Structure 1
Amino acid sequence: MNTYIREPINGFTHLFGALISFAGLLALVIKASIDSGSPLAITAVTIFGISLILLYSASATYHMVVAKDHIIAFLRKIDHSMIFILIAGTYTPICLISLGGTTGWILFIVINTLALFGVLYKLIWFQAPRWLSTALYVAMGWIIIFFSPSLSKVLSTEGMLLLLLGGITYTLGAFIYWLKPKFLEFKHMGFHEIFHLFILGGSFFHFFCIFYYVL
């Protein structure tokens, strides 16, 4: 197996994520079309769904493909860059559907500007310290906390809870990635594989938040 797939567990967990994201995108678009029919809502959830597909497809490709070192290095840059794309994609329905108005658009512009900076940063300075990348991911993800008073007025308690759980799960995953804890090293599974599972968990929480409470 390892002759053909570099990291089977990492690759297959995020291949599963990519496949389920396609189904999730379809479900979101259908629900948005039926519930409101708003072009803005449909566009917002489409962006979210595509960002999920991009992240998990890039990750699965990077972890599964056996290729020359320079190709693997390029795929790794794309893999890490897609984290910024997913963060921006997840914010999109929150900004444009839940918050809306001037506040929503301001946050949308801020997040997408940061995401663009993040992608360029990863492509240009990939060897940046691990802690710096982790800090950027976490800081960008938690900017929403400054908008929580406004968001709590338009998003139900259940929706806020799912949003929070997703953020916490992603953050725990980020710290696992950064710290590489030795106690999470097992025979066939290590910190990186567990990190992947936390990322999947965060995506599930945020998907259900958007599907049930944002739309």
Structure 2
Amino acid sequence: MSSVTDYSPREELANRLSHGLGLVFGILGLILLLNKGWEQGTQALISYSLYGGSLVLLYLASTLYHSMAEGAARRWCKVFDHCAIYLLIAGTYTPFLLVALDTPLAQGLMVVIWGLALAGVVFKLLFINRFKKLSLFTYLMLGWLSLVVIYQLYIHLEGEGLLLLGLGGLIYSLGVIFYVAKRIPYNHAIWHLFVLGGSVCHFMAIYGYVA
């Protein structure tokens, strides 16, 4: 994300409100999934907790970052914000791989995804303001590694669930266009709306067709 001077006060307000709404959505989604997890057993409960917790964490980090004045607190919230993206990507995979599939290939991919996500967190802690293009590439690459298990997902998920999963990934990816288009007014808030849209699609896929 950028420094506070890159956004007008109205743009920063839009940034806060858009992901503040996402925070409310994330909390409600976590509660709903935990209720289902209690009924399905330990593995499902842990999977939904990781996913729902990472969803809340992302929107909390972003909302805090865009609420802070320039200074040390904002800089740390920026780190928190960027790290949370890696955690949400891995968290979103978890119910699909460990609940919907739970095959050797899915379990192996789960280890790879979380390993790469944690490596991404360390990378951001060390190089928050450097290698921005590389960071963007790793976000997209991690997200589309789901193609490794696309055939298994096709078999185990209903058509609507698979459609929501793919649509969510597409919305996230298209949002990157606005993330990098700094000259478009409110580009960052528009990016936030794409993130929210992708999150809603993936939540609907998990709650409706995995849980």
TM-score, structure 2 length as denominator? Answer: 0.91
Q: Judge conservation of contact 1:5–1:65 (CA < 8 Å) in 2.
A: no
Count of paired positions: 204
* Superposition pairs of residues 1-215 of structure 1, within 5 angstroms: 7-34=12-39, 37-66=40-69, 68-178=70-180, 180=181, 182=183, 184-185=184-185, 190-215=186-211
Q: Judge conservation of contact 1:99–1:151 (CA < 8 Å) in 2.
A: yes
Provide Cα deviations, 1:39-89, integer angstroms capped at 9, x if missing partner. Answer: 1111111111000000000000000122x5222111111111100000010
Distance 2:76 2:28 in 1: 28
Tell me by how many angstroms 1:102 deviates. Answer: 1.4
Q: Judge conservation of contact 2:106–2:149 (CA < 8 Å) in 1.
A: no
Matched residue type, 2:28:
A
Provide Cα deviations, 1:155-212, integer angstroms capped at 9, x if missing partner. Answer: 111111000000001111123213x164x42xxxx11110000000000000000000
TM-score, structure 1 length as denominator? Answer: 0.89
1:64 alignment partner, SS class: coil
Distance 1:181 1:168 in 2: 21
1:7 alignment partner, SS class: helix
The CA RMSD measured in Å over matched residues stands at 1.8
**Which stretches of structure 1, 4 residues or more, deviate above 3 A after TM superposition?**
none
Q: Judge conservation of contact 1:28–1:211 (CA < 8 Å) in 2.
A: yes
Percent identical across equivalent pairs?
37
Distance 1:77 1:29 in 2: 28
Tell me by how many angstroms 1:32 deviates. Answer: 3.1
Alignment-derived partner of residue 3 in structure 2 = none
Q: Judge conservation of contact 1:138–1:174 (CA < 8 Å) in 2.
A: no
Distance 2:13 2:136 in 1: 24
